[in-house]
Structure 1
């Protein structure tokens, strides 16, 4: 498929999203609409739309690409099983708490439970974590667009990033969450459709029926799910499942982005129905993503397709787009492009909305004033939205100059360092009801813990007899934070117990 054709499809795609945004936000574009979608979202739309937000372009490209590694294969599904358990814990423990307190920003719990400094610390951790994580996710699709489209037109990488963020800003800055609920539903439809259709197209290219494809994947060198032979390695089953549980609790349950969608439902019952439905779809769709990965490698082997090289390094992130754009017919290529674009931009638009909401609520106190939606505050919100778009741009540019790893690896590595303190803060608040903290010392604990974890992760093989710390790093990080908070704790008053 030519670069010009791809560009035309992208322009049409974003034209549709901007049209939807204008229709949705035509009646109202105030802050209540932007932050909470007027608390009137349909749970089934939220559940379906969250699939696109939770999966992102990382799942779409990096997860299938990683299947080719003998140390990976289908081991990611171990992590997914942990994710599913984490989602159920969120639905039964955290969502009821957030609804009972009627929160706009979930970090309001930390304010009431531990104090104002702890609250600002938690919100700051989210802003840093989500900005970096979302920038990495967007980076993944931008490098694909750059390689297969914009290099053809001699457009610099920085301009490609800026154009991408500008388009996202154009359809989110007015309606915010209300727009996102609708556009993410559409984008998830494209994402899910593209996964199933891609499997069909590759099976046709390999002359395999559905049953034959299942057997081919099952008997391939890519389909091993459970790794339990060596607990020292990062792919050990218990590490992956526990890591999946705690990463999910931290990156979803303690993250304003996905929780903001849940809090837009009418009541806790609908929010929980959303989470249960979402969990089932999430597990099934990841099975298909892993299957796509195995089929891609089988296709590549049959057709002597090499993994694309970048600066002398094999980049598995490029295998899926390489096959879709250069080795399949034009219709499968279009389907892939729609799926990739939907997966990545559904994540980024949601993140920008959540970052804007958190900053406006947690630092500008917009939900605590009677005139939160007056024109002056709406203008402030627009500037904050623009500011986070530019910040994400800078993060991507820096990351592009440094990165030589799979993006999925980088995302979970960064999350382990940044979300660990959030895990510790909420665990202390929920389980140590008789205690609170000396508020002013909390930021130091939340800085020291990731630094200790960095040292442990770098030297784990030496310190612990060849033991490799992997996804369980976030648990260690949260535990160190929890212990640090205990050291600076004091008896709680009746006002700080929940």
Structure 2
């Protein structure tokens, strides 16, 4: 694929997003940016969320990871489905009842201002890191496909990419994103579908042959029962439930889209239909992973040292122009669908939770704009730092980091919903710092301390439990009246 074709694809795609931005951001205000005026059709939100949830991590890392972990990632996704059901029937009604803009406002009413700011701060840290990792993946592909041809350094690639995202989100915010996500989901699913079709064609495999190949491949191993393994079914399935609750139900990025629906029932339908579509989409990416390795084996193509590089290598160099174009559209869509909503959610949380701009007398569009620019530059810096030392699969890195940073948020909400106890609000930040530190220590010493046992994604649950234990220690005893 020539640099001119790559440039044309990027320009055309960006032009489409700018058109959508223009149409959706007319007469926009802060309410439009933060809530979409609560008028989004539920089916539009559900379909668009697929692209945002898949992101560059699934698009690139999941197909490559089948060589190392087979289909055990699906154990995690099955747990996700249970988590989405809990979100639909527990968290969605709560957030709509309280009429929240930022979901962390619940913590202020339940525990106090310090708890509220602590929950929001952990989200800001978590989302900045997670979104930056995902955008990093896409920037690497764009660097290889286009910018390397002109000797342009990686930092320029990142700066251009993130600046384009800022341009089409800074006015319409979440209202624009609900619509652009539908375009991005379409390109993601189109890319994986066409890639599979082309591989089958080039390998002269029928549909029945493909099913047999995939089901009999050792790379399609689904269940892992070894209790010591970090991929054990019970550990990953349980972790899938709680990570979904923490990283979706308690994540402003995801819930901000759900809260743009007209009412509770629409938001619930959105979550349930999205979860089914998400499961099917993940299956497609796992099937693609098996076929990618089969294609490389059949054509004596050396497997890259980094599994994340396999799909880009084959799509851009071996599958032909059509796949190259749809792959490029897919990776751009993956980058934009995760980063645009992350920027909006970060801006919303910081403006509402930290600056409390709703209570000022004048409309704070300028403040919102400055915050949006600030988080854009922060993500740029995080990507540059990550690029300087990255040596692991991004899919593992993202969830490992999230396991430590989302744990306190999950612990706060769980304690608040399960118990009626009050806590010493001023001590909550300390508890939420200690819990991740203890989790990190446990994670890195578990094999030595627990006879070979390795933590996987379930470290999030440990983190949340430690947070809840800490909150229990600082509970306020109810005053007893003297009769």
TM range (shorter): over 0.9
Structure-1 separation of matches of 2:118 and 2:478: 20
2:150 to 137, 153, 156: 153
**Shift of residue 196 of structure 1?**
1.4
Contact 1:104 1:367 in 2 (8 A): no
**Shift of residue 29 of structure 1?**
2.1
2:59 maps to what in 1? Answer: 60
- Quick one: structure 1 residues 330 and 109, their matched pair in 2 at CA, closer, same or farther if it must change by over 3 Å? same
- Quick one: structure 1 residues 154 and 97, their matched pair in 2 at CA, closer, same or farther if it must change by over 3 Å? same
1:42 maps to what in 2? Answer: 41
Alignment of 1:364-379 (within 5 A): 364-369=355-360, 371=362, 374=363, 377-379=364-366
- Quick one: structure 1 residues 492 and 136, their matched pair in 2 at CA, closer, same or farther if it must change by over 3 Å? farther
Alignment of 1:395-474 (within 5 A): 395-433=382-420, 435-474=421-460
**Shift of residue 370 of structure 1?**
6.2
Contact 2:138 2:334 in 1 (8 A): no
Contact 1:418 1:450 in 2 (8 A): yes
Structure-1 separation of matches of 2:16 and 2:92: 33
**Shift of residue 491 of structure 1?**
4.2
**Shift of residue 369 of structure 1?**
4.7
Structure-1 separation of matches of 2:299 and 2:254: 41
2:10 maps to what in 1? Answer: 10
**Shift of residue 490 of structure 1?**
1.2
Structure-1 separation of matches of 2:210 and 2:3: 31
Is residue 2:209 matched to residue 1:212? yes
1:108 maps to what in 2? Answer: 105
Contact 1:252 1:258 in 2 (8 A): yes
Query: How many aligned positions are there?
Result: 479
1:311 maps to what in 2? Answer: none
Unaligned 5+ segments in structure 2 are: none
1:278 to 263, 274, 277: 274
1:330 maps to what in 2? Answer: 321
Alignment of 1:472-487 (within 5 A): 472-487=458-473
Contact 2:3 2:146 in 1 (8 A): yes
When the two structures are superposed, what TM-score results if normalisation uses the length of structure 1?
0.95
Structure-2 separation of matches of 1:457 and 1:367: 41
Structure-2 separation of matches of 1:5 and 1:189: 21
1:24 maps to what in 2? Answer: 24
**Shift of residue 364 of structure 1?**
1.6
Is residue 2:274 matched to residue 1:288? no
Is residue 2:467 matched to residue 1:490? no
Partner SS for 1:490 = coil
Alignment of 1:341-352 (within 5 A): 341-352=332-343
Unaligned 5+ segments in structure 1 are: 309-313, 494-498
Structure-2 separation of matches of 1:344 and 1:492: 50
Cα offsets for 1:337-364 (capped at 9, x unmatched): 1111112210110000000000111112
1:260 to 246, 251, 256: 256
2:190 maps to what in 1? Answer: 193
Structure-2 separation of matches of 1:289 and 1:140: 16
Partner SS for 2:384 = helix
RMSD: 1.1
Partner SS for 1:264 = coil
Structure-2 separation of matches of 1:492 and 1:5: 69
- The runs of at least 4 consecutive aligned structure 1 residues that moved more than 4 Å come to none
Structure-1 separation of matches of 2:85 and 2:446: 32
Structure-2 separation of matches of 1:192 and 1:463: 44
Partner SS for 2:319 = coil
Structure-1 separation of matches of 2:203 and 2:82: 36
Cα offsets for 1:25-56 (capped at 9, x unmatched): 12x22100000000101100000010011110
Structure-2 separation of matches of 1:492 and 1:37: 42
**Shift of residue 453 of structure 1?**
0.7
Contact 2:60 2:311 in 1 (8 A): yes
Structure-2 separation of matches of 1:50 and 1:370: 35
Cα offsets for 1:138-158 (capped at 9, x unmatched): 001111111222111111111
Contact 2:88 2:271 in 1 (8 A): yes
When the two structures are superposed, what TM-score results if normalisation uses the length of structure 2?
0.98
Structure-2 separation of matches of 1:492 and 1:31: 41
Structure-1 separation of matches of 2:142 and 2:190: 20
2:176 to 174, 179, 190: 179
**Shift of residue 380 of structure 1?**
0.9
Contact 1:234 1:469 in 2 (8 A): yes
Structure-2 separation of matches of 1:328 and 1:426: 47
Structure-2 separation of matches of 1:175 and 1:469: 41
Structure-2 separation of matches of 1:262 and 1:109: 16
1:359 maps to what in 2? Answer: 350
Structure-2 separation of matches of 1:492 and 1:225: 50
